[in-house]
Structure 1
Amino acid sequence: MATAKKLTDNHLTCVICTEVFTDPATLQCHHTFCKSCLLKYTKTQPEAVQAKSIPCPSCRQLTKVTTPDSPVEEWVSQLKPSHVIQGLMDDFKPGAEAADANVCSVCKTQGKTTPATSWCSVCDEVFCDGCLKMHNIMPMSRDHKVVDVSDATKRKTRHRFMCKTHKDKQIELFCKDCRMAICHTCCSIEHRKCDDVDILDNMTPLVREHLSNQNQELKIKMTTSENITILRKSQIKEIQTNAQNIKDEIRNIRQKVVEVILSKEKQLLDKVDRSSDEQLHELHAEIKSQEIELQMYQQQYEFTANAVTSNCERDMYAVYKSVGEASTDNRDTGNRPAPGRVVFTHDMDKLSKAVDDLQLGEVAAVRCVSDRQSTPVLHHNIDCKGDGDKKDTHLNDVTVLTVDGLTVTVVADYYNKNLKTYHTSDPNTLGNLLLSGWPWQIAKLSESQIAVSVPNNKEIVTVNVTPDPVLLSTIKTSKEYYALSSLSPSQLAAGTCRQSHSVDILDMTGRILKSINTGIIRSPDYIHVTSNGDLKVSGVNSLVCVTSEGVAVFTYTPAGVRALTFPRGITTTSTGDILLADKDSHKVIQLTESGQFVRDVLTHQDGLEYPRGICLDGDRFLYVTCGRFVRIFKFKKTL
């Protein structure tokens, strides 16, 4: 029953519902599912339904239906299980009693449950002691090999393979044309026109080998699917984190815009206060002046009234004289101009347009170079020509680091013998490190450390990026190494120009641990180590891939219009595709992981001139050095 359980678990279980098959149906690709599960899945695939086909949930292969005008339910109902699956379902159906395997076959036909003690390997039946005596007496079975029923090492696990059409006939043949196991009667009736029929014993090793190979392929596919699932989950997390960071940045920009608006509002309010205060001060002064004049007029009025009512003519004429003199003051205070008003003038149309035109930034779904249907678009350039440079800037290599959340671009300026660091989105230099010789290739050791080859001085320098480049150590080497890449935290892969066909593996003191033959490439120019430890090496007119043990994987040396003219920098995408800068053809080409040509990613029309160094930033932005510039490309989906 352990065999039955194993078969049930591994071969009689639907991968959709993970239960034992209920009314199984087998597709043309030989994958089997419950009909109800297959029906539900098919209804979720409108493209397959439109193509009048049933899609396989496992391999996506389409099975054409015989009655395309019928409903989907009829398409699925017409499917039949494979002969093997149906046979296994019948022989090892769930719920079979474990004790049946150890009950005497002869007694069971008589309704008895006598425990079996022996098993005949020829009859494939179990017997109790009494029935075994009869079995051994019969002339036809007396020479059969019989073993103890409990002897699992000698007892076969195979049961008799009986024909489902001719139930009393054992299946002993296999029709290769129909890929079916059949009995002799089936062969003579239904398969008489078939050309290739063999005995089952001859086919069993081949079928077993085929299924074993298929299992190996499935195991590889399972591993690949699992790795892709892990990658996609990490990408989901990365996308979610990136989305949150962008949202926070947008909110920060909005806050800054609001602060600018509030500042402008304060300026206007302050101006209103100043203008109003000036007007109020003027009015208060006027009121004070009028109050003084009023008091003076009141005094004159009282003095004149007293003179009129007085009986003394002398006093009256004295007052008359003084009034005449006072009347010569012609000040007309009542006709002074009114103070100005504070006026607020606005243009709502202009303001609305300004608000509509306000751009907090741009949000775009950037594709990655791994998407072979994506199109590169120049994002921006970094001009690495510095004010202090004594010679023309000549960038041999570039890498990108993330230092304390800051994306830093590091370039090797060959002619000026220095390393320069830049904020990726800011053209201003962050730092500059002068070297003793001409730097060639940069090897990324970590997110804050790099190693740089300085071949003319037989040196490899290690540098800490803070983001300023700070010299950590100088490693003296026995050869002039140009090509350089990090194989592990404690090992470097380096190539020399001395007509050598090998790449040396060095420790961090410069000691050669071993040499790897690159085959046809003489004097390797650039090296890239992939995530699985393979070495991609460029030089002359070829690209070679070898393992870290020196086993050749492929050599890419195309001819004709695709011939390489001067291959330089190399990098790989998250899916394993290879990007190679071909200097003199002004191109960046894309290859598959196995070295098959995919496309020209960038050409001279994209602004590429003699590209050398190349790297990827998170698989979304591609950095290429061209003379004094680092050209940064993003990728968009082609519509």
Structure 2
Amino acid sequence: MATAKKLTDNHLTCVICTEVFTDPVTLECNHTFCKSCLLKYTNTQPDAIQAKCIPCPSCRQLTKVTNPVSPVEEWVGQLKPSHVIQGLMDDFGPGAEAADVNICIVCKQQGKTTRATSWCSVCDDFFCDGCLKMHNMIPTSRDHEVVDASDATKRKAKHRFMCKTHKDKQIELFCKDCRMAICHTCCSIKHRKCDDVDTLDSMTPIVREHLSNQNQELKIKMTTSENNIIFRKSQIKEINSNAQNIKDDIRKTRQAVVEMVLRKEKQLLDKVDRSSGEHLHTIQAEIKSQEIEMQMYQQQYEFTANAVTSNCERDMYAVYESVGETSTDNRDTDNRPAMGRVVFTHDMDNRPAPGRVVFTHDMDKLIEAVEELQLGKVAVVRGVSDRQSTPVLHHTIDCEADGDKEDPCLCDVTVLTVDGINVTVVADYNNNSLKTYYTSKPNPHVNQLLLSNLPCQIAKLSESQVAVSVPWSKQIVTVNVTPEPVLLSTIKTSKEYYALAYLSPSQLVAGTSGQSHSVDILDMTGKILKSINTGVVRNPDYIHVTSNNNLIVSERGVSYLVSVTSEGEAVFTYTPTVDRTLTRLWGITTTSTGDILLVSYKVIQLTESGQFVRDVLTQQDDLVYPRGICLDGDEFLYVTCDHYVKVFTFVQSVHNQIT
């Protein structure tokens, strides 16, 4: 019974009273509580009662009631437990163990505990063999269906479906309006106003078919979940393998840097050895020369000493004449011409000092260089940022709205997150409107704000505000998205600005036609603060500002893409090869890793420095007149096509998908 105890403790216990369920009921959020506990809790929630809903004590989700005008007691009374909870209660709840050993009801009334052998489906009582004979002799019960008491499955199948409210009434009807099985008494009292009540016999095949279909759906979902689990596990394995490979690459990079440092160390050590060796060789040669001179001095000393101590004047004068005077100034005292002599001199003071090997370094500079050392960068790439990924159409947004006078033409798109809701914002050129699209269960919503003229490009100011260029009215309008679009302000401009982008909280970048290849930086009143020369683009149609404030400018009439800094310095000009010729350049956006996405009847991907990477989307992806493009925070790619916005997600590779 350990399993039954574990089930009771973990799954059959009410979180309110912490006891085993008593008359359990289940809310729409699938949380189950005791009926009395839920009733007490609901009565303490006036806001929920006013909203005619039952609040969940666990997750706070509201469950709508079928009859809001009835008392709260009936709201809770109409709830039922889930089939799973009810089945667990029947098999493992209180009394389930005792049910395994059933006692004869007749003997029990006589104070006996005789084991029952049979169960009557009509009386819903257990009988021993002797009492069963008496039961079968009574005329009113002799035709009752009796089954073996030990066969729980058959007992359950034969058990009469009795009303919980009217205990003696069998359930024979089903109220389709309330989705409840009821007895005739319930029908006449509580369901008089219901329109669709049918017999249980008629509903049973329908319910069985519905549950069978539901089971099939659950089986499919189980298979899908199992496949997803297998796929996720393979992803975990791939992530771990990829992480290990990256770690190995980092260690190899570190080893290469260390080897480079060791080579530099060896070069310095070798240079110390060479320089010190040269100095040592010079000094050792001088020592050898000094030793030879010292030997000559020693011989001269001994020769002179012998002459002085020999008391022989002839020898003494002979030595004197041979060596000459040894006075420090080498002068003849008698001014006579010097006689031939040998003089040993060694002027140590006039010799150059030997060189000294030194090691100089700037420790602060060295530490700074080490701190600035970059072994590389580790980044998580997903979506289109992963250049090995494959686009898959996730869903399509139809931006046609009631009241449109013409077929929508969507020039630009951006995505905001307003109060946790993803809101798609589009500029509808043909219908002079800014539209917002969002999904709030159960229905999608399209709202629009009519503008004075044809809108072109959208600049995202924040997660709840955008600016829109309206060139033919010489306006830039700012709009608050709630998620419905609400006009905030109208900025009057001196030029007709088509292209528009957000530069800073106080500055916009705008482009117009034929203005000496320049775009203007504006303040939020429309005043021109500075003009930037793009070099070649005369009629900017789209401007995008990168994360490092570089400007990328496109023009539909040229076949190249230009990027400049906000100071006007050239960053790159992308001019494709003949086989990749660009025509009609439109929207631009950048990925989280800095890659550039450009619309040109297809979507191409460039590096941050303007090098071709790949064609992300082509005509085979059913792109019809694509123009606007953006990425949301989850790396979903939005592309306007005719009056639709196509939303793409990206998978790592085709062979990793579960089919």
- What TM-score comes out, normalization by structure 2 length? 0.46
Select the structure of larger CA radius of gyration.
2
- What TM-score comes out, normalization by structure 1 length? 0.48
